[in-house]
Amino acid sequence: MGNSLRSIIMWLPFNTIFDTHTIIELLLKTGIYEYLRKGDPLNVYHSRISFDISYYFANEGLVERMEYKSFSKNINNNFNGCTCWRKL
């Protein structure tokens, strides 16, 4: 897991609810392409980021998984469901 994802999570304000689509957008806007350089399909990036948030940051107590999902735009400008997290 890279420091870029940690930097984005730490930058989010306390109690912010976010989803993986938000994280991908922030990675792109900040010019951090660590997760997006590997040539994998988008769903693989999405899964990798979601796993890292769950495995590293939830286990560290930095975020908690919400019981509901968002319905937000992905990088292809399509709406779909996405797990939500809350920054602790």
The rounded percent of the chain whose pLDDT value lies above 70 is 84
**Average confidence (pLDDT) over 46-64:** 90
DSSP class of residue 34 equals G
pLDDT in tens, 23-47: 988 888 877 666 666 666 767 777 8
Can you state the angle between helices 42-52 and 20-29, rounded to 10 degrees? 110
The yes-or-no verdict on residue 1 having pLDDT over 70 is no
Neighbours of 81 (CB within 10 A): 11
Query: pTM of the entire structure?
Result: 0.83
Q: What backbone phi and psi angles, to 5 degrees, belong to 12?
A: -60, 140
pLDDT score of 12: 95
The rounded percent of the chain whose pLDDT value lies above 90 is 44
